Structure 1
Amino acid sequence: MSGHEHWQMDASAPELYERYLVPAITSVWANDLLDRVGPRHGESVLDIACGTGIVARLAAQRGHAGRLVGIDLNTAMLAVARAKSATVEWVEGSALDLPFNANSFDVVLCQLGLQFFPDRPLALKEMVRVLKPGCRAGLSVYSAIERTPAAHAFVQALDKYLGAESSRTKRSEHLSCDAHEVGAWAKQAGFDVVDVAIVAKQITFPSMLDYVRFQLTATPMAALLKERDAAERERMILSIADDAASRLDPSMLAGGKLTFPQESFVVTASLR
């Protein structure tokens, strides 16, 4: 995709997520997580909050031949996952009450999902419960939004144009705590050995305008503009994109593209 090619927002939100966000962002983090945890041939793997299934699908592409299961609460996201891969078991269910027996999996993965769970300690305890003794987990979660410049610029522009509460959904994608606190949650849940790495990846979008348009048309933030007509929505998207761009270092907008560092905590944990 060239820097001058605008994204086409003519599909459902889960389809748009798979088409644009998976290549631009989530596949980057999925490969990092798989590199760190290293599921081995034949191991049973559970991908929690799997979305459209990129983590499990990449594990399969790497030659993993054991049981692969993806679980998510979102029916529409799972429909896309099922359409993309028939080799993974796709299950609709909650991270807070996993529908699996204790000691069922060799590896548990959770990419960019922990921040959304209403009871994070319970979700982590459930990961421990379904893991076999001596086995391991990996999870990633966005760090403070100030550590990801494009997201921070976007929420500041949203607050300016749509009011202070408008950025709450986007801010909820990020944890404001530090790495030590995230590690402490895993220890308290029952993991014996815990490591938390602070990892930054370079993320590229075709432009700041495409980044903002995606946020405001293909995510739950679309509700912010739903009462406005099409022309007013487009004017608002353009204004927010211009304002957000003005808050970034010009080097992040070189060549018309948007390129920025995105920071996450990546946790690897194991049971004795």
Structure 2
Amino acid sequence: MYQRPCAYLSGSFDVVLCQLGLQFFPDRPRALKEMARVLRPSGRLGLSVYSAIEHTPAAHAFVQALDKFLGAESSRTKRAEHLSCGAAEVGTWVRQAGFDRVDVETVSKQISFPSTLDYVRFQLTATPMAALLKKEDDIGRESKIAAIADDVAARLDSAMLANGRLTFPQESFVVAASLR
């Protein structure tokens, strides 16, 4: 079967920015090689990607609660947002794609929600995970959201739940790289 080549010619861009997208490519090294291919000489790459879900406590507690209440496959979408490797491996992929100046930093930022319930409600109504509760009526949906939120809160350090708010670190890898 004929597959149409990428519409962009090699050396078309000065900068490629990939924010929270690399984890969704089935072949990440190939995606990075394509990013390098479309860059001009001395072109730059900037990308960010979430680290392992275990390094983001609220997300990790959330997927555990999803698995408990909705079944093992229910957390697949949320888990897919995160890489399961470390910063060194991400740096290796970028170097192997042809970038020579590569800087990978592990960055942690504090994320805050008015409450654990608000965090869970957001995840289950305003993201692709809303599909998990699409068969529920309003009462059933709210009941499951509340139960999952209670379970998430029970899994977190109490310091993350101060004053009724939910505040937690979100860890990402941030990459700056360039071609010769």
Q: Same fold (TM over 0.5)?
A: yes
Could you list the runs of 5+ residues in structure 2 that have no partner in the other structure? none
Q: Distance in 1 between matches of 2:69 and 2:37?
A: 45
Partner residue of 2:53? 145
SS in 2 for 1:212: helix
User: Alpha-carbon deviations, 1:26-67, whole Å to 9, x = none?
Assistant: xxxxxxxxxxxxxxxxxxxxxxxxxxxxxxxxxxxxxxxxxx
SS in 2 for 1:167: helix
Give the letter for the 1:237 counterpart: I
* Partner of residue 219 from structure 1, selected from 127, 145, 168: 127
Is 1:167 the counterpart of 2:72 in the alignment?
A: no
Is 1:108 the counterpart of 2:16 in the alignment?
A: yes
Partner residue of 2:163? 255
Is 1:133 the counterpart of 2:23 in the alignment?
A: no
Q: Distance in 2 between matches of 1:202 and 1:99?
A: 39
Q: CA deviation at 1:118?
A: 2.0
Q: Distance in 2 between matches of 1:111 and 1:188?
A: 20
Q: How do residues 2-13 of structure 1 correspond to structure 2 at under 5 angstroms?
A: none
Q: CA RMSD in A?
A: 1.2
Relative contact order (alpha carbons < 8 A, sep ≥ 6): 1 or 2 greater? Answer: 2
Give the letter for the 1:227 counterpart: K
Q: CA deviation at 1:113?
A: 0.5
Q: Percent identity?
A: 76
Is 1:119 the counterpart of 2:21 in the alignment?
A: no
User: Alpha-carbon deviations, 1:176-195, whole Å to 9, x = none?
Assistant: 11111111111111111211
Is 1:205 the counterpart of 2:139 in the alignment?
A: no
Q: CA deviation at 1:135?
A: 2.0
User: Alpha-carbon deviations, 1:88-126, whole Å to 9, x = none?
Assistant: xxxxxxxxx653222122111111100011221221111
Q: Distance in 2 between matches of 1:223 and 1:174?
A: 20
What is the aligned length? 176
Give the letter for the 1:221 counterpart: M
SS in 1 for 2:72: coil
Partner residue of 1:186? 94
Give the letter for the 2:174 counterpart: V
Q: Distance in 2 between matches of 1:183 and 1:203?
A: 25
Q: Distance in 2 between matches of 1:100 and 1:176?
A: 30
Q: How do residues 8-27 of structure 1 correspond to structure 2 at under 5 angstroms?
A: none
TM-score of the aligned structures, taking structure 2 as reference length: 0.94
Partner residue of 2:176? 268
Structure 1 residues 131 and 175 mapped into 2: Cα distance closer, same or farther (>3 Å)? same
Q: Distance in 1 between matches of 2:164 and 2:81?
A: 26
Partner residue of 1:61? none
SS in 2 for 1:166: helix
Q: Distance in 1 between matches of 2:100 and 2:7?
A: 24
TM-score of the aligned structures, taking structure 1 as reference length: 0.63
